[in-house]
Chain A
Amino acid sequence: MSVVPLPLDDVLLRPDIWRGDRLAGFDADNLSSNFAALDAELPGGGWPRGALVELLPGVDGIGEVSLLLPALKRCMEDEAPIAIIAPPGMAHAPAWATQFPLARLLVVEAARDDIAWSVELLLASGGLGAVLAWLPAKISNKSLRRLQLAAEGSRSLAFMFRPPSSVQTSSPAPLRLSLTGSRQGLQVDIFKRRGPPCEKTLLLPVERPLPWTRVRSELPKWPGRTRKPQLELVTK
């Protein structure tokens, strides 16, 4: 039996084939991150749907969620809800309400052993626009693979936050980013992607409660002890 070989060029034109030395082309299904510098480095030109994206922030509060907010807002436009699983703090309603309608937000507080199960269930449901999960430090590769499989079957954005130490370990997630805070912006290091290794570290001006220009090099003095707030009862 003879097999007619397919011309290699034809194969390379397929959207699901990419060459190791270059990034996958623009994929209309991907959601732009709203940061041109980041989109240029992400395969497909944005956050991928139906694939795990691992984010490894050094500490909480450097803008790791704000980095995703533009994409989350956009995926809310097709009325798909967003689930937050095992967040590191208590979700503060007045802050979330400035970003999107609270009716679209689902908070799941799971104990450590139940997190992966909950994420898998929510991803598999296919009814969500995005899943944001804070995975436990010790999670087996097997559970991660299950999550990746569940994500592949859906069109959800799947952002998995993991501790910075997991940089050392391998993971089935096709896109992994390490995040570091600084006084100039959020430093993003894409250390795994479908394409050539990303050499440069991106500095992104993620949205903060106040403009970045407020951060100055010289430190203004903190009000001292003498200016304690006092409440006095005034009687006539």
Chain B
Amino acid sequence: MSAPVPKALWLALHFHRFPLEVFDAVDQPAVAVEQHLVACANAQAEILGVVAGMRLSGALGLAPGLVVRERKSLREAETLDRLACWAGSFSPHVSLAGPDELLIEIGGCLRLFGGLDVLCDLIRNGAVAQGFSVHMALAPIPLAAQWLARAGRQVCCRSPQSVRKHLQALPVDVIGVSRVEQQTLAALGVRRLKDLFALPSAGLARRFGIGLPRQLAQALGEAPDLRREFVFPEFFVQKLELPAKVEQAAMLLFAARRLLASLAGWLSVRASGVAECDLVLLHDDGIADSHLVLAFASPTRDLARMERVLRERLDRLVLSAPVTDLRLEAVTPVLMPGSTLGLFAQTSAQSLDPVIERLRARLGKQAVHAIEIKNDYRPECATLSVERTEFTQTQHGPPRPLWLLPRLQALQERDGALHYGGVLQRVAGPERIESGWWDRGEKRGDTQEEEAAVGDVQRDYYVAVSVRGEWLWIFRDVRGWWLQGVFA
């Protein structure tokens, strides 16, 4: 017996302010125009009375401070592709529908995300975070979901009966028929889909062509409706043209987040993660591109983690020249199988990785490290600073101090006694360390520290206690007495 196949459930996303929102998020009245006609207005503009289809001159009369963007269909297509990549975070079955619509088949992944409501919230919040207004509708039939979303009905139909019920109330213009056909329908007294369903399909086919009755049948699930799946690109290199030149790094955040969201979705579809991605900042012609490498402590496809590192890096970035475009490249994606959900709330070392990469993003890669033993007798050379280590054994050895001083400190010798805030008492020693004859070191100048830093050493080490109770690690060489470490 085979496992039951989950029922298809299509989530339609209709980005109803798409022509405008492909540019950026504006906090003031704004419109996208096409041939001097308003194609799309944002909420602030709508409050002032600007609606789609209005002439630009009329709109400017209503809202003098209106931000006007020339509609760019190429940019819209690119943005929709990027959104399709992002939708890969939720389901691998994504299909492009129309210039401003996406269809996601989520029937098979409800359980993974913890239910329909959770998943819908995730998707909505994800779209809103990228600055897109969206209407969502759910139906077992793709076309029905699309029409419901287009009409702004945020409903969830699980059965064909409820699809028919909800579709009946929709206005006819959701079908997307031409203006002439709309007028014909209006003349027939057809205002809602209910009226259309009541008409015989043969008559409809004669008046409007075969397309209309077929669409109606598809929307009701009576005719097959096959959708072409979105093909995720083989390599992730995405470019985003900024609406205006940007001179401050913080203003790149919004655009860069759109790119990262797309990367995160692309990575989930490929079951991969990246340890590094390269955000290229393109400047005007003739100026070399700047690279902002986002490095993560472990391969990841977690958008929140990537965004934190991005924010940290942008906070400290000073732009050398105005930026015109952004390009995001996933350098080397590595296969990262999904993790099994824990039965209990578990905390593990894994949870530290996001913190480590945030620290590294702010303090520098070298500043956050693990330490490892290097087999070298010279104390200065015995510690290696590494990104991470697998040293899991504790070791035994002669007394060694927890801290080494960054520089050797000369000790004063008076009347046969050493002084360091008082007379020093010898507790152990000497321990002879002679090593490094092969390593000449660089002897620059006469400063003693540099000479003593590396190279051939011949030292007698002692443990000493000061009057203040400090336990110190000191040594003597041909030049005198030195303090090298403290037993903290």
* Interface residue ranges, A against B (CB under 8 Å): 58-66, 79, 81, 87-103, 105-111, 114, 117-118, 121-122, 125-128, 180-183, 186, 208-210, 214-216, 219-224, 228-231
Contact = CB atoms under 8 A, between A and B. Distances in A.
Contact of A92 (B396, B401, B434): B401
Nearest to B470: A61
A97 to B, nearest CB: 5
Contacts of B192: none
B470 A62 contact: yes
A174 B476 CA distance: 44
B423 to A, nearest CB: 7
Interface in B387-441: 388-397, 399-406, 413, 416-418, 421, 423-428, 430, 432, 434
B463 A59 contact: no
B400 to A, nearest CB: 4
A210 B370 contact: no
B175 interface: no
B165 interface: no
A111 B368 CA distance: 12
Given A58-B468, A107-B368, A181-B469, 18 more contacts: A60-B486, A65-B488, A79-B349, A92-B382, A92-B404, A94-B383, A95-B402, A106-B356, A108-B359, A109-B367, A121-B358, A126-B351, A128-B352, A180-B469, A219-B423, A228-B476, A230-B478, A231-B434
B197 interface: no
Looking at chain B's contact residues, the main secondary structure is mixed
B386 to A, nearest CB: 9
For the complex of A and B, 4 pairs with smallest distance between CB atoms: A181-B469, A89-B403, A209-B399, A61-B486
B383 A91 contact: yes
Contacts of B469: 62-63, 180-183, 186
B428 A106 contact: no
A98 to B, nearest CB: 6
A215 B371 contact: no
B14 interface: no
Given A61-B486, A224-B416, A108 B368 contact: yes
A102 B373 contact: yes
Taking each of B358, B382, B405, B465, which has the highest tally of chain A beta carbons within 10 Å of its own beta carbon? B465
Contacts of B278: none
Given A97-B394, A108-B367, A222-B417, A61 B400 contact: no
28 contacts: A61-B401, A62-B468, A62-B469, A62-B471, A63-B469, A87-B403, A89-B404, A89-B485, A89-B488, A92-B402, A93-B373, A94-B382, A94-B383, A96-B371, A101-B391, A103-B392, A105-B371, A106-B356, A107-B371, A107-B385, A109-B368, A186-B469, A208-B487, A209-B399, A215-B465, A220-B425, A222-B418, A229-B460
Contact of B394 (A100, A121, A128, A221): A100
A122 B356 CA distance: 8
Nearest to A208: B471
Taking each of B369, B424, B430, which has the highest tally of chain A beta carbons within 10 Å of its own beta carbon? B369
Given A93-B384, A95-B402, A223-B476, A114 B389 contact: no
Interface residues of B, number: 77
A214 B430 CA distance: 14
Contact of B428 (A96, A117, A210): A210
B391 A102 contact: yes
Taking each of A66, A210, A230, which has the highest tally of chain B beta carbons within 10 Å of its own beta carbon? A210
A61 B425 contact: no
B464 to A, nearest CB: 9
Interface in B353-370: 354-356, 358-359, 362-363, 366-370
Nearest to B475: A229
B182 interface: no
Contacts of B359: 108, 118, 121-122
Given A61-B472, A89-B406, A231 B390 contact: no
B372 A229 contact: no
B8 to A, nearest CB: 40
Contacts of A98: 394-397, 400
A117 B405 CA distance: 25
B452 to A, nearest CB: 14
Contacts of A58: 468
A66 B488 contact: yes
Given A208-B471, A222-B417, A229-B432, A91 B395 contact: no
B347 interface: yes
A63 B463 CA distance: 14
Contacts of A87: 403
Contacts of A125: 351-352, 354-355
